[in-house]
Structure 1
Amino acid sequence: MPWLGLGVFQVEDGETVAASVEEAIVQGYRHIDTAAVYENEEGVGEGIRRGMERAGITRDELFITSKLWNADQGYERALEAYRESTARLGLDQLDLYLIHWPVENKFTESWRALEDLYKEEKVGAIGVSNFQIHHLETLLQTAEIVPAINQVERHPRLVQTELFKYLTEKNIHPVAWAPLAQGGIFNEPVLVEMAESLGKTVAQVVLKWHLQTGWAVIPKSVKKHRIYENADLYDFELNEEQVKAINEMDQHRRVGPDPDNFDF
Protein backbone atom coordinates (compact mmCIF):
# COMPACT_ATOMS: atom_id res chain seq x y z
CA MET A 1 0.00 0.00 0.00
CA PRO A 2 1.44 3.40 -0.95
CA TRP A 3 1.77 5.52 2.17
CA LEU A 4 0.36 8.60 0.43
CA GLY A 5 -3.10 8.38 -1.09
CA LEU A 6 -5.92 10.61 -2.27
CA GLY A 7 -8.99 10.72 -0.05
CA VAL A 8 -12.37 11.64 -1.56
CA PHE A 9 -14.59 12.14 1.51
CA GLN A 10 -17.29 14.76 0.77
CA VAL A 11 -16.17 15.09 -2.85
CA GLU A 12 -19.20 15.29 -5.14
CA ASP A 13 -19.83 12.33 -7.41
CA GLY A 14 -19.58 12.76 -11.15
CA GLU A 15 -17.11 15.02 -12.87
CA THR A 16 -15.81 16.65 -9.67
CA VAL A 17 -14.49 13.44 -8.12
CA ALA A 18 -13.57 11.91 -11.48
CA ALA A 19 -11.39 14.89 -12.38
CA SER A 20 -9.75 14.87 -8.94
CA VAL A 21 -8.89 11.16 -9.13
CA GLU A 22 -7.70 11.47 -12.73
CA GLU A 23 -5.41 14.39 -11.86
CA ALA A 24 -4.00 12.60 -8.83
CA ILE A 25 -3.10 9.52 -10.88
CA VAL A 26 -1.51 11.65 -13.60
CA GLN A 27 0.54 13.41 -10.91
CA GLY A 28 1.81 10.13 -9.53
CA TYR A 29 -0.65 9.08 -6.83
CA ARG A 30 -1.17 5.33 -6.81
CA HIS A 31 -3.50 4.98 -3.81
CA ILE A 32 -7.14 6.12 -3.99
CA ASP A 33 -9.38 5.85 -0.92
CA THR A 34 -13.19 5.97 -1.11
CA ALA A 35 -16.18 4.43 0.70
CA ALA A 36 -19.72 3.34 -0.08
CA VAL A 37 -21.19 6.07 2.12
CA TYR A 38 -19.35 8.79 0.20
CA GLU A 39 -21.71 8.01 -2.69
CA ASN A 40 -19.00 8.75 -5.26
CA GLU A 41 -17.65 5.30 -6.15
CA GLU A 42 -18.94 5.55 -9.73
CA GLY A 43 -17.13 8.85 -10.27
CA VAL A 44 -13.99 7.45 -8.64
CA GLY A 45 -14.13 4.53 -11.05
CA GLU A 46 -14.40 6.90 -14.00
CA GLY A 47 -11.44 8.90 -12.69
CA ILE A 48 -9.41 5.71 -12.31
CA ARG A 49 -10.06 4.71 -15.91
CA ARG A 50 -9.24 8.16 -17.26
CA GLY A 51 -6.17 8.49 -15.05
CA MET A 52 -4.77 5.13 -16.09
CA GLU A 53 -5.19 6.01 -19.75
CA ARG A 54 -3.50 9.41 -19.40
CA ALA A 55 -0.70 8.11 -17.17
CA GLY A 56 -0.13 5.03 -19.33
CA ILE A 57 -0.39 2.63 -16.38
CA THR A 58 -2.29 -0.58 -15.70
CA ARG A 59 -4.71 -1.51 -12.92
CA ASP A 60 -2.08 -3.51 -11.04
CA GLU A 61 -0.09 -0.32 -10.50
CA LEU A 62 -2.92 1.22 -8.44
CA PHE A 63 -4.10 0.55 -4.90
CA ILE A 64 -7.84 1.12 -4.44
CA THR A 65 -9.57 1.14 -1.04
CA SER A 66 -13.27 1.25 -0.18
CA LYS A 67 -15.26 0.66 2.99
CA LEU A 68 -18.26 -1.27 4.27
CA TRP A 69 -20.93 1.11 5.55
CA ASN A 70 -22.70 0.68 8.89
CA ALA A 71 -26.12 -0.14 7.43
CA ASP A 72 -24.52 -2.96 5.43
CA GLN A 73 -22.88 -4.71 8.36
CA GLY A 74 -23.55 -8.35 9.15
CA TYR A 75 -22.24 -11.39 7.27
CA GLU A 76 -24.49 -11.77 4.21
CA ARG A 77 -25.09 -8.07 3.65
CA ALA A 78 -21.34 -7.35 3.86
CA LEU A 79 -20.67 -9.80 1.04
CA GLU A 80 -23.33 -8.11 -1.10
CA ALA A 81 -22.03 -4.64 -0.24
CA TYR A 82 -18.55 -5.59 -1.43
CA ARG A 83 -19.93 -6.76 -4.77
CA GLU A 84 -21.92 -3.54 -5.08
CA SER A 85 -18.88 -1.36 -4.37
CA THR A 86 -16.72 -3.12 -6.94
CA ALA A 87 -19.54 -2.88 -9.50
CA ARG A 88 -19.93 0.88 -8.93
CA LEU A 89 -16.17 1.33 -9.25
CA GLY A 90 -16.06 -0.85 -12.35
CA LEU A 91 -13.35 -3.05 -10.82
CA ASP A 92 -12.98 -6.80 -10.52
CA GLN A 93 -11.68 -6.45 -6.97
CA LEU A 94 -10.40 -3.99 -4.39
CA ASP A 95 -6.87 -3.91 -3.03
CA LEU A 96 -8.18 -3.10 0.45
CA TYR A 97 -11.66 -3.29 2.00
CA LEU A 98 -12.37 -1.86 5.43
CA ILE A 99 -15.12 -2.01 8.03
CA HIS A 100 -15.90 1.70 8.20
CA TRP A 101 -17.05 1.95 11.85
CA PRO A 102 -17.19 -0.53 14.74
CA VAL A 103 -20.96 -1.08 14.85
CA GLU A 104 -21.69 -2.81 18.13
CA ASN A 105 -22.81 -6.44 17.89
CA LYS A 106 -22.21 -6.47 14.15
CA PHE A 107 -18.57 -5.83 13.36
CA THR A 108 -17.37 -9.32 14.29
CA GLU A 109 -19.83 -10.88 11.80
CA SER A 110 -18.83 -8.31 9.20
CA TRP A 111 -15.21 -9.23 9.77
CA ARG A 112 -16.00 -12.90 9.16
CA ALA A 113 -17.42 -11.89 5.76
CA LEU A 114 -14.29 -9.89 4.94
CA GLU A 115 -12.12 -12.82 5.97
CA ASP A 116 -14.03 -15.05 3.55
CA LEU A 117 -13.64 -12.50 0.74
CA TYR A 118 -9.90 -12.51 1.44
CA LYS A 119 -9.63 -16.30 1.61
CA GLU A 120 -11.44 -16.56 -1.72
CA GLU A 121 -8.98 -14.03 -3.19
CA LYS A 122 -11.76 -11.59 -4.00
CA VAL A 123 -9.94 -8.77 -2.20
CA GLY A 124 -6.25 -8.04 -1.79
CA ALA A 125 -6.30 -7.13 1.91
CA ILE A 126 -8.81 -6.37 4.67
CA GLY A 127 -8.78 -3.96 7.56
CA VAL A 128 -10.81 -1.68 9.78
CA SER A 129 -11.46 2.00 10.29
CA ASN A 130 -12.19 4.02 13.43
CA PHE A 131 -11.48 1.10 15.75
CA GLN A 132 -10.29 1.92 19.24
CA ILE A 133 -8.07 -0.48 21.17
CA HIS A 134 -11.02 -2.16 22.90
CA HIS A 135 -12.80 -2.68 19.56
CA LEU A 136 -9.71 -4.40 18.20
CA GLU A 137 -9.37 -6.51 21.33
CA THR A 138 -12.95 -7.71 20.85
CA LEU A 139 -12.38 -8.40 17.16
CA LEU A 140 -9.17 -10.33 17.76
CA GLN A 141 -10.90 -12.70 20.17
CA THR A 142 -12.61 -14.41 17.20
CA ALA A 143 -10.71 -13.17 14.14
CA GLU A 144 -8.67 -15.62 12.09
CA ILE A 145 -6.93 -12.80 10.23
CA VAL A 146 -5.44 -9.74 11.89
CA PRO A 147 -6.55 -6.50 10.19
CA ALA A 148 -3.91 -5.20 7.81
CA ILE A 149 -4.61 -1.58 8.69
CA ASN A 150 -6.66 0.64 10.98
CA GLN A 151 -7.65 3.96 9.44
CA VAL A 152 -8.45 6.56 12.09
CA GLU A 153 -8.62 10.30 12.61
CA ARG A 154 -5.12 11.61 13.29
CA HIS A 155 -3.56 15.07 13.12
CA PRO A 156 -1.46 17.37 15.36
CA ARG A 157 -4.39 17.92 17.74
CA LEU A 158 -5.08 14.17 17.97
CA VAL A 159 -1.71 12.41 17.89
CA GLN A 160 -3.03 8.95 18.91
CA THR A 161 0.15 7.89 20.74
CA GLU A 162 -1.40 5.02 22.72
CA LEU A 163 -3.28 3.64 19.73
CA PHE A 164 -0.15 3.81 17.55
CA LYS A 165 1.81 1.81 20.11
CA TYR A 166 -0.91 -0.86 20.23
CA LEU A 167 -1.18 -1.08 16.43
CA THR A 168 2.58 -1.42 16.12
CA GLU A 169 2.59 -4.27 18.62
CA LYS A 170 -0.16 -6.06 16.67
CA ASN A 171 1.47 -5.40 13.28
CA ILE A 172 -1.57 -3.38 12.14
CA HIS A 173 -0.53 -0.45 9.98
CA PRO A 174 -1.99 2.96 10.92
CA VAL A 175 -3.54 5.25 8.31
CA ALA A 176 -4.58 8.82 9.12
CA TRP A 177 -7.81 10.33 7.88
CA ALA A 178 -8.36 14.08 8.33
CA PRO A 179 -4.55 14.31 8.49
CA LEU A 180 -4.77 18.11 8.25
CA ALA A 181 -7.63 18.39 10.77
CA GLN A 182 -9.84 19.45 7.84
CA GLY A 183 -7.74 22.60 7.52
CA GLY A 184 -8.11 23.53 11.17
CA ILE A 185 -4.37 23.67 11.83
CA PHE A 186 -3.31 25.88 8.91
CA ASN A 187 -2.98 29.01 11.07
CA GLU A 188 -1.20 27.40 14.02
CA PRO A 189 1.81 29.69 14.74
CA VAL A 190 4.18 26.78 15.45
CA LEU A 191 3.35 25.18 12.12
CA VAL A 192 3.38 28.45 10.17
CA GLU A 193 6.85 29.29 11.48
CA MET A 194 8.09 25.77 10.78
CA ALA A 195 6.74 25.84 7.23
CA GLU A 196 8.34 29.22 6.52
CA SER A 197 11.71 28.02 7.79
CA LEU A 198 11.54 24.99 5.49
CA GLY A 199 10.14 26.80 2.47
CA LYS A 200 7.10 24.51 2.53
CA THR A 201 3.37 24.84 3.19
CA VAL A 202 1.83 23.96 6.55
CA ALA A 203 0.04 21.07 4.83
CA GLN A 204 3.32 19.70 3.52
CA VAL A 205 4.94 19.96 6.96
CA VAL A 206 2.07 18.14 8.67
CA LEU A 207 1.84 15.42 6.02
CA LYS A 208 5.59 14.90 6.31
CA TRP A 209 5.17 14.59 10.10
CA HIS A 210 2.64 11.81 9.59
CA LEU A 211 4.96 9.91 7.25
CA GLN A 212 8.02 10.34 9.47
CA THR A 213 6.13 9.12 12.52
CA GLY A 214 4.99 5.92 10.81
CA TRP A 215 1.54 6.83 9.49
CA ALA A 216 0.15 6.53 5.97
CA VAL A 217 -2.02 9.48 4.92
CA ILE A 218 -4.96 10.12 2.58
CA PRO A 219 -5.33 13.91 2.24
CA LYS A 220 -8.30 15.18 0.24
CA SER A 221 -8.27 17.89 -2.41
CA VAL A 222 -10.07 18.70 -5.63
CA LYS A 223 -7.66 21.50 -6.56
CA LYS A 224 -4.90 20.65 -9.01
CA HIS A 225 -2.17 22.63 -7.21
CA ARG A 226 -3.13 21.18 -3.81
CA ILE A 227 -3.08 17.64 -5.16
CA TYR A 228 0.45 18.35 -6.38
CA GLU A 229 1.58 20.07 -3.16
CA ASN A 230 0.24 17.28 -0.96
CA ALA A 231 2.48 14.80 -2.77
CA ASP A 232 5.58 17.01 -2.89
CA LEU A 233 6.99 15.69 0.37
CA TYR A 234 10.21 13.95 -0.47
CA ASP A 235 12.80 16.73 -0.77
CA PHE A 236 12.88 17.69 2.92
CA GLU A 237 12.94 16.16 6.40
CA LEU A 238 11.74 17.33 9.80
CA ASN A 239 14.34 17.21 12.54
CA GLU A 240 13.72 15.68 15.97
CA GLU A 241 12.87 19.04 17.53
CA GLN A 242 10.29 19.78 14.85
CA VAL A 243 8.65 16.37 15.19
CA LYS A 244 8.57 16.81 18.97
CA ALA A 245 7.01 20.27 18.66
CA ILE A 246 4.19 18.90 16.51
CA ASN A 247 3.66 15.94 18.86
CA GLU A 248 3.30 18.42 21.73
CA MET A 249 0.36 20.10 20.00
CA ASP A 250 -1.77 17.10 20.97
CA GLN A 251 -5.05 18.11 22.64
CA HIS A 252 -6.88 14.78 22.20
CA ARG A 253 -9.33 16.84 20.14
CA ARG A 254 -11.35 15.42 17.27
CA VAL A 255 -12.85 17.06 14.19
CA GLY A 256 -14.89 13.94 13.40
CA PRO A 257 -17.15 11.58 15.37
CA ASP A 258 -15.97 9.69 18.44
CA PRO A 259 -15.75 5.94 17.69
CA ASP A 260 -17.11 5.29 21.18
CA ASN A 261 -20.13 7.51 20.67
CA PHE A 262 -21.63 7.55 17.18
CA ASP A 263 -25.21 6.96 16.10
CA PHE A 264 -25.15 6.48 12.34
Structure 2
Amino acid sequence: MVSRSIPNGLTIAGSDPSGGAGLQADIKTFSALGVYATNVITAVIAQNTRGVAAVEPVSVAMIRAQLDNLLDDVEIDAVKIGMVASRDVAETIAEALTRRRPRWIVLDPVMVAKSGDRLVDDDGLRAVREVLVPLADVITPNLPEAAALLGTDMPVTLADMAAMVGDLAALGAPYGLLKGGHLPLDRCPDLLWMPGGTRWLDAPRLPTHNLHGAGCALSSAIAAHLAHLAPPQSPQTEVEMAIDAAKRWLHRALEASERLDVGQGKGPPHHFHAWW
Protein backbone atom coordinates (compact mmCIF):
# COMPACT_ATOMS: atom_id res chain seq x y z
CA MET A 1 0.00 0.00 0.00
CA VAL A 2 1.22 3.49 -0.82
CA SER A 3 1.92 5.15 2.52
CA ARG A 4 3.28 8.47 1.27
CA SER A 5 1.24 11.41 0.05
CA ILE A 6 3.49 11.63 -3.02
CA PRO A 7 4.33 8.24 -4.55
CA ASN A 8 7.68 7.43 -6.14
CA GLY A 9 7.97 6.27 -9.74
CA LEU A 10 10.96 4.77 -11.56
CA THR A 11 11.61 4.93 -15.28
CA ILE A 12 14.18 2.57 -16.80
CA ALA A 13 14.77 3.82 -20.31
CA GLY A 14 17.02 5.41 -22.90
CA SER A 15 17.56 9.15 -23.21
CA ASP A 16 16.25 11.63 -25.77
CA PRO A 17 18.15 14.94 -26.07
CA SER A 18 15.09 16.59 -27.65
CA GLY A 19 13.11 15.83 -24.48
CA GLY A 20 10.08 14.34 -26.19
CA ALA A 21 10.58 10.61 -25.72
CA GLY A 22 12.31 8.07 -23.50
CA LEU A 23 13.61 8.95 -20.07
CA GLN A 24 12.86 12.65 -20.41
CA ALA A 25 9.25 12.06 -21.46
CA ASP A 26 8.73 9.69 -18.55
CA ILE A 27 10.15 12.14 -16.00
CA LYS A 28 7.94 14.91 -17.36
CA THR A 29 4.88 12.65 -17.29
CA PHE A 30 5.50 11.47 -13.73
CA SER A 31 6.04 15.06 -12.63
CA ALA A 32 2.93 16.37 -14.39
CA LEU A 33 0.84 13.66 -12.70
CA GLY A 34 2.09 14.17 -9.16
CA VAL A 35 4.62 11.33 -8.91
CA TYR A 36 8.22 11.85 -7.80
CA ALA A 37 10.38 10.67 -10.71
CA THR A 38 13.51 8.56 -10.32
CA ASN A 39 15.38 7.08 -13.26
CA VAL A 40 17.87 4.51 -14.51
CA ILE A 41 19.35 5.18 -17.93
CA THR A 42 19.88 2.22 -20.28
CA ALA A 43 21.22 3.97 -23.40
CA VAL A 44 22.41 7.35 -24.58
CA ILE A 45 20.67 8.17 -27.85
CA ALA A 46 21.60 10.93 -30.29
CA GLN A 47 18.25 11.89 -31.75
CA ASN A 48 15.92 14.77 -32.44
CA THR A 49 12.38 15.16 -33.73
CA ARG A 50 13.49 13.99 -37.19
CA GLY A 51 15.26 10.75 -36.33
CA VAL A 52 17.91 8.75 -34.52
CA ALA A 53 21.59 9.34 -35.37
CA ALA A 54 23.32 7.01 -32.89
CA VAL A 55 22.65 4.71 -29.94
CA GLU A 56 25.25 3.94 -27.26
CA PRO A 57 24.11 1.39 -24.65
CA VAL A 58 25.08 1.94 -21.03
CA SER A 59 27.15 -0.96 -19.65
CA VAL A 60 25.39 -3.73 -17.77
CA ALA A 61 27.60 -3.03 -14.75
CA MET A 62 26.52 0.62 -14.66
CA ILE A 63 22.84 -0.27 -15.09
CA ARG A 64 23.15 -2.76 -12.22
CA ALA A 65 24.89 -0.15 -10.06
CA GLN A 66 22.17 2.42 -10.81
CA LEU A 67 19.41 -0.02 -9.92
CA ASP A 68 21.04 -1.37 -6.76
CA ASN A 69 21.93 2.03 -5.36
CA LEU A 70 18.51 3.50 -6.10
CA LEU A 71 16.45 0.55 -4.85
CA ASP A 72 18.54 0.20 -1.71
CA ASP A 73 17.45 3.71 -0.75
CA VAL A 74 14.11 4.64 -2.35
CA GLU A 75 10.83 2.74 -2.04
CA ILE A 76 9.31 2.61 -5.52
CA ASP A 77 5.55 2.35 -6.06
CA ALA A 78 5.48 1.88 -9.84
CA VAL A 79 8.08 1.20 -12.52
CA LYS A 80 7.95 1.97 -16.22
CA ILE A 81 10.42 0.05 -18.40
CA GLY A 82 11.21 1.41 -21.83
CA MET A 83 14.14 0.74 -24.15
CA VAL A 84 16.17 -2.39 -23.32
CA ALA A 85 18.80 -3.21 -25.93
CA SER A 86 20.19 -6.58 -24.83
CA ARG A 87 19.46 -9.79 -22.95
CA ASP A 88 22.06 -8.98 -20.29
CA VAL A 89 20.32 -5.69 -19.53
CA ALA A 90 16.88 -7.34 -19.48
CA GLU A 91 18.08 -10.01 -17.06
CA THR A 92 19.77 -7.40 -14.84
CA ILE A 93 16.54 -5.38 -14.66
CA ALA A 94 14.46 -8.50 -13.97
CA GLU A 95 16.78 -9.67 -11.19
CA ALA A 96 16.76 -6.27 -9.46
CA LEU A 97 12.98 -5.84 -9.67
CA THR A 98 12.30 -9.41 -8.57
CA ARG A 99 14.39 -8.90 -5.42
CA ARG A 100 12.64 -5.62 -4.56
CA ARG A 101 9.29 -6.11 -6.22
CA PRO A 102 7.35 -2.83 -6.61
CA ARG A 103 3.58 -2.99 -6.61
CA TRP A 104 3.35 -2.21 -10.33
CA ILE A 105 5.57 -2.77 -13.39
CA VAL A 106 4.54 -1.29 -16.75
CA LEU A 107 6.50 -2.34 -19.83
CA ASP A 108 6.51 -0.32 -23.04
CA PRO A 109 8.32 -2.67 -25.46
CA VAL A 110 10.18 0.11 -27.29
CA MET A 111 11.80 -1.27 -30.44
CA VAL A 112 11.30 1.30 -33.18
CA ALA A 113 11.35 5.11 -32.91
CA LYS A 114 8.52 7.19 -34.43
CA SER A 115 10.96 8.02 -37.24
CA GLY A 116 11.13 4.32 -38.10
CA ASP A 117 14.66 3.83 -36.75
CA ARG A 118 15.22 0.39 -35.16
CA LEU A 119 16.42 0.71 -31.55
CA VAL A 120 16.76 -2.93 -30.48
CA ASP A 121 18.54 -5.87 -32.15
CA ASP A 122 17.09 -9.38 -32.49
CA ASP A 123 18.65 -10.59 -29.24
CA GLY A 124 17.20 -7.60 -27.41
CA LEU A 125 13.79 -8.35 -28.90
CA ARG A 126 13.90 -11.94 -27.67
CA ALA A 127 14.96 -10.74 -24.23
CA VAL A 128 12.02 -8.36 -24.02
CA ARG A 129 9.65 -11.17 -24.98
CA GLU A 130 11.15 -13.88 -22.78
CA VAL A 131 12.39 -11.96 -19.74
CA LEU A 132 10.52 -8.67 -19.33
CA VAL A 133 7.01 -9.37 -20.62
CA PRO A 134 6.43 -12.14 -17.99
CA LEU A 135 7.76 -9.77 -15.31
CA ALA A 136 5.34 -6.96 -16.18
CA ASP A 137 1.85 -6.33 -14.85
CA VAL A 138 0.90 -4.24 -17.89
CA ILE A 139 2.44 -4.06 -21.38
CA THR A 140 1.62 -1.40 -23.98
CA PRO A 141 2.74 -2.50 -27.47
CA ASN A 142 1.74 -0.67 -30.61
CA LEU A 143 0.96 -2.75 -33.70
CA PRO A 144 4.54 -2.97 -35.09
CA GLU A 145 5.86 -3.85 -31.63
CA ALA A 146 3.18 -6.50 -31.13
CA ALA A 147 4.01 -8.03 -34.51
CA ALA A 148 7.71 -8.06 -33.60
CA LEU A 149 7.00 -9.73 -30.25
CA LEU A 150 5.00 -12.48 -31.95
CA GLY A 151 7.03 -12.76 -35.17
CA THR A 152 3.95 -12.11 -37.30
CA ASP A 153 2.73 -9.53 -39.81
CA MET A 154 1.39 -6.26 -38.48
CA PRO A 155 -2.41 -6.20 -38.08
CA VAL A 156 -4.24 -4.19 -40.71
CA THR A 157 -7.82 -4.53 -39.43
CA LEU A 158 -9.67 -4.49 -36.12
CA ALA A 159 -10.30 -8.21 -36.56
CA ASP A 160 -6.55 -8.78 -36.90
CA MET A 161 -5.99 -6.87 -33.65
CA ALA A 162 -8.58 -8.94 -31.82
CA ALA A 163 -7.08 -12.17 -33.15
CA MET A 164 -3.61 -11.15 -31.94
CA VAL A 165 -4.51 -10.47 -28.31
CA GLY A 166 -4.68 -14.09 -27.20
CA ASP A 167 -1.13 -14.76 -28.36
CA LEU A 168 0.11 -11.56 -26.69
CA ALA A 169 -1.55 -12.48 -23.41
CA ALA A 170 0.05 -15.92 -23.60
CA LEU A 171 3.50 -14.27 -23.36
CA GLY A 172 2.81 -13.75 -19.67
CA ALA A 173 1.63 -10.23 -18.85
CA PRO A 174 -1.83 -10.35 -17.20
CA TYR A 175 -2.85 -6.93 -18.58
CA GLY A 176 -2.02 -5.26 -21.84
CA LEU A 177 -3.05 -2.42 -24.11
CA LEU A 178 -2.64 -3.12 -27.83
CA LYS A 179 -2.50 0.33 -29.40
CA GLY A 180 -4.19 0.59 -32.79
CA GLY A 181 -3.06 4.02 -33.92
CA HIS A 182 -1.25 2.60 -36.96
CA LEU A 183 -4.54 1.47 -38.52
CA PRO A 184 -5.77 3.81 -41.30
CA LEU A 185 -8.94 4.84 -39.46
CA ASP A 186 -10.46 8.15 -38.35
CA ARG A 187 -10.11 7.00 -34.75
CA CYS A 188 -7.44 5.29 -32.65
CA PRO A 189 -8.82 1.97 -31.37
CA ASP A 190 -6.89 0.38 -28.50
CA LEU A 191 -7.69 -3.09 -27.21
CA LEU A 192 -7.26 -3.82 -23.51
CA TRP A 193 -6.84 -7.41 -22.39
CA MET A 194 -7.17 -8.60 -18.81
CA PRO A 195 -7.97 -11.82 -16.97
CA GLY A 196 -11.70 -11.18 -17.34
CA GLY A 197 -11.66 -10.62 -21.10
CA THR A 198 -11.09 -7.71 -23.47
CA ARG A 199 -12.39 -4.19 -23.89
CA TRP A 200 -12.11 -1.72 -26.79
CA LEU A 201 -11.02 1.82 -25.91
CA ASP A 202 -11.62 4.22 -28.78
CA ALA A 203 -10.44 7.81 -29.10
CA PRO A 204 -10.84 10.22 -32.01
CA ARG A 205 -7.75 10.68 -34.17
CA LEU A 206 -6.39 14.19 -33.60
CA PRO A 207 -5.12 16.29 -36.52
CA THR A 208 -1.56 16.53 -35.21
CA HIS A 209 1.87 15.23 -36.19
CA ASN A 210 3.21 15.85 -32.68
CA LEU A 211 3.44 12.18 -31.76
CA HIS A 212 7.13 12.01 -30.82
CA GLY A 213 7.21 10.05 -27.57
CA ALA A 214 3.44 9.62 -27.31
CA GLY A 215 3.83 5.92 -26.50
CA CYS A 216 6.41 6.69 -23.82
CA ALA A 217 4.09 9.26 -22.28
CA LEU A 218 1.10 6.89 -22.28
CA SER A 219 2.94 4.04 -20.57
CA SER A 220 4.49 6.32 -17.96
CA ALA A 221 1.08 7.95 -17.38
CA ILE A 222 -0.38 4.49 -16.71
CA ALA A 223 2.44 3.82 -14.23
CA ALA A 224 1.89 7.21 -12.59
CA HIS A 225 -1.83 6.64 -12.12
CA LEU A 226 -1.18 3.14 -10.75
CA ALA A 227 1.33 4.61 -8.28
CA HIS A 228 -1.47 6.76 -6.83
CA LEU A 229 -3.82 3.79 -6.39
CA ALA A 230 -3.80 1.43 -3.44
CA PRO A 231 -6.08 -1.35 -2.12
CA PRO A 232 -8.95 -2.04 -1.48
CA GLN A 233 -9.56 -1.78 -5.23
CA SER A 234 -9.10 -5.00 -7.20
CA PRO A 235 -6.04 -5.17 -9.50
CA GLN A 236 -8.25 -5.28 -12.59
CA THR A 237 -10.22 -2.24 -11.47
CA GLU A 238 -7.00 -0.38 -10.72
CA VAL A 239 -5.52 -1.17 -14.15
CA GLU A 240 -8.68 -0.14 -15.98
CA MET A 241 -8.90 3.11 -14.00
CA ALA A 242 -5.23 3.90 -14.65
CA ILE A 243 -5.44 3.21 -18.37
CA ASP A 244 -8.63 5.25 -18.80
CA ALA A 245 -7.10 8.18 -16.91
CA ALA A 246 -3.80 7.95 -18.81
CA LYS A 247 -5.55 7.95 -22.18
CA ARG A 248 -7.56 11.04 -21.23
CA TRP A 249 -4.41 12.81 -20.07
CA LEU A 250 -2.49 11.96 -23.26
CA HIS A 251 -5.41 13.10 -25.43
CA ARG A 252 -5.28 16.51 -23.78
CA ALA A 253 -1.48 16.59 -24.09
CA LEU A 254 -1.74 15.94 -27.82
CA GLU A 255 -4.48 18.55 -28.22
CA ALA A 256 -2.22 21.11 -26.51
CA SER A 257 0.93 20.10 -28.42
CA GLU A 258 0.44 22.86 -31.01
CA ARG A 259 1.32 25.36 -28.27
CA LEU A 260 4.89 24.01 -28.35
CA ASP A 261 7.49 24.74 -31.02
CA VAL A 262 10.04 21.91 -30.74
CA GLY A 263 12.05 20.85 -33.78
CA GLN A 264 11.28 20.44 -37.46
CA GLY A 265 9.99 16.86 -37.41
CA LYS A 266 7.40 15.16 -35.23
CA GLY A 267 7.01 17.30 -32.14
CA PRO A 268 6.22 16.00 -28.64
CA PRO A 269 2.97 16.05 -26.67
CA HIS A 270 2.62 18.91 -24.19
CA HIS A 271 3.26 17.01 -20.95
CA PHE A 272 2.60 20.08 -18.81
CA HIS A 273 -0.58 21.20 -20.59
CA ALA A 274 -2.41 21.49 -17.25
CA TRP A 275 0.35 23.65 -15.75
CA TRP A 276 1.72 25.95 -18.48
The two structures share one fold, judged by TM-score above 0.5 = no
Q: Which has the higher strand share?
A: 2
TM-score, length-scaled by structure 1: 0.39
Q: Which has the higher helix share?
A: 1
TM-score, length-scaled by structure 2: 0.37
Bigger Rg over Cα: 1
